[in-house]
Amino acid sequence: MEKTEIAEKNYIQLCMTMVEKKLGWPDSNTWRHRDFVKLSDIISEKTKIQVSVTTLKRLWGKVSYEGNVGPNTLDALSIFTGYEDWMDFKSNNPVNLQHIPDLAPVIKRHFGSPARILAIAGGIAILAGSIFWLTKLLPKIETISRVLNVNEKDFIFESENPKGPVPFAVKFNFDISKIDADSFFIRAGDSFKKFPVTKKNNFLTRIYFIPGPKYALLIANDQELKKIPLFAYTNGWIALVSAINPNLPKDIIHPRYITGDSLISNNRLYVSPQELAKNQLSVLSNPFHVNYFNVKHFNVDGNNFALRTRIKNNVREGGDVCQKSNVSIMCNEGYITIPMINPGCIALAKVYIGDIYINGWTTDLSAFAKDMNQWHELYIRIKDKNTKIFIDGQPVIERTFTNNMGEILGFRFEFQGCGSIDYVKLYDHHEQLVYEDDFGGAAN
C-alpha cells in the first residue's frame, strides 16, 4: 500500500473519530442497527447529503466491504464535523507523509532445520485455534437488512396535491399494512428528513418553503419502495430571504418572501438592506442569503438551451464580504449552478453541471473570480449536453454531462448578501428567445 493510500485511510479514521466525539454516544463497538439509522438521519439533516445506513455500517466495520469510500460520503462526514467538504477537512488536519513508514521489503527467509519448522507450525496451529475461539466470543458483525420482495400492488403511496405554490403543504396518503418490514419512513420536506410512520398511519403532511422540483420517498427498512415527483412553484419572481442562525439546525428554515414591486429597484431585481429591515432581517446580526426564484414550466429542453443574464453583488449595496453569487437552472432531472465570487474566496466556488461537480479546493476556478461590485454577464450554452460557459464574453469552462436533464423548471439566483439581477433571457434549442425579463416594471 502506498503512503498516500495509508494517509487517506488515516484521514478517514480521524474523521470518523471526530464524528463519534461530536455525537457523544457510547463506544461505536456497541452501536446497533437503530443507531446507524439515527446517525444517517442526523447527517442528512445537518449536511443535506444522504448517507445510507449500509454505507455507515461499512465504514464502522459492521458490514464486510473492501471498496473505496465515495466522495459524497466523505463530504458529508466532513461537513458534519464542521468543515466545508472533504478537501477542507484534509487541508485543516494535515497528515505528515514523512512519518508514515515505508513498507518493509519482501525478504526470502530460510527457516532452517526440520525441528525449527515443526516449532513454527505448532505456533501457527495454536494461533489459529486462538483466533477461532476469539471469533466465537467477539460480537458478530451485523448483516445488511434483508431485501424486501415487495410489489407496488402491495402498498399505496400517493400525493393528493403534487403541485402547489410556496409555501407548499403536500398531503400524502399511504397504506403499508401488507408489507412485512421492521421500520417505515417517508422522506420529504425541504430538509428531506425521514419521518417514521407505522401500519396504523395512513396520512402525512410535509411543508416545502423552497421553490423547485422535489420528490418524496417511501422507505421500508433501508429499501426505497416508491418515489413521488412534486413541484413547488412560484407565481412569477419572488425573493426568499433566510438568515443563517448558527444556534439553529440547518434544516430549520424561517424564510421571508418578498414579492411584487418591492423586488424592483432602478430597473433591476434587487432587495435592499432597508427592505430586509422592513421584514425583520438585519444584515449585521447574522449572515444571510437572498435567493431570487422564478419557478414554472418553461417548456424548454434542459439538454439544449441558452441562458444570458447579468448580475452583481456590491458590498456597498449589502453584499457579503465574499460576494458569493450563484446562478442555477433547475430541471426536473438535474440542475446547473455557475458561481461568481470575490477572488479572495475562490476556494469556496462550486460548479455543478448535471452529474459533474467541480470545487475550488481541488480545481483552479480562478476564471470565476470577479469583482462583484461591478456588473458581469453570464452566458450558458448547452447543445446535446455539451456545456460552454462564458463570463463577460470570455470562455471559462466547457464540459459534457451524461445524465438527462429533462425540462427546465425554473431559475434560482443565490446571493450571499443583497445581490441584484439586470436581466434574464432564455433561448430554446433553435436559439429562439422564449423568455425575457429586464425588470423595467413589475416582475412578471
Per DSSP, the residues of 42-54 read: HHHHHHS----HH
Do residues 336 and 355 make contact, with C-beta atoms less than 8 angstroms apart? no
- Supply the DSSP symbol for 84: S
Say how far apart CA 138 and CA 132 lie, in whole Å. 10
Contact 60, 51 (CB under 8 A): no
pTM of the predicted model as reported, rounded to 2 decimal places:
0.67
User: What are 222-227's contacts with CB under 8 Å, separation 24+?
Assistant: 222/37, 222/52, 222/53, 222/54, 222/144, 222/145, 223/145, 223/147, 223/148, 223/150, 223/181, 225/148, 225/150, 225/152, 225/155, 225/157, 225/179, 226/152, 226/155, 226/157
Res 93: pLDDT: 77
Q: Which three cell numbers stand for residue 70?
A: 465515495
Counting as low any pLDDT under 70, the low residues of the chain are 1-4, 65-66, 95-148, 243-254, 281-287, 441-444
Q: How far is Cα 359 from Cα 87, in angstroms, rounded to an integer?
A: 9
Cα distance between residue 74 and residue 20, in whole Å: 15
Q: What are phi and psi of 162, to 5 degrees?
A: -70, -10
> H/E element holding 21?
helix 3-23
> Where do the domains of the chain lie?
1-144, 152-233, 238-437
By the 10 Å C-beta count (0-12 exposed, 13-18 middle, 19+ buried), 26 is classed as exposed
pLDDT of 140 reads 36
Q: Is 21 left (phi over 0), alpha (psi -120 to 50) or beta?
A: alpha
Contact assessment for residue 296 and residue 407, using Cβ atoms and an 8 Å cutoff: no
Query: Can you give the pLDDT at residue 100?
Result: 40
- Amino acid symbol at 332: N
Domain 238-437 architecture: Sandwich (2.60)
Residue 66: count of CB within 10 angstroms of its CB: 5
Is residue 294 within 8 Å of 444, Cβ to Cβ? no
pLDDT of residue 104: 38
Residue 180 burial (CB count, 10 A): 11
**Domains 152-233 and 238-437 agree in fold:** no
> Would you call 62 exposed, middle or buried from its count of C-beta atoms within 10 A (0-12, 13-18, 19+)?
buried
Contact call for residues 192 and 48 (beta carbons, < 8 A)? yes
The hierarchical CATH code for the domain 152-233 is 2.60.40.1930
Q: How many CB atoms lie within 10 A of CB 137?
A: 6
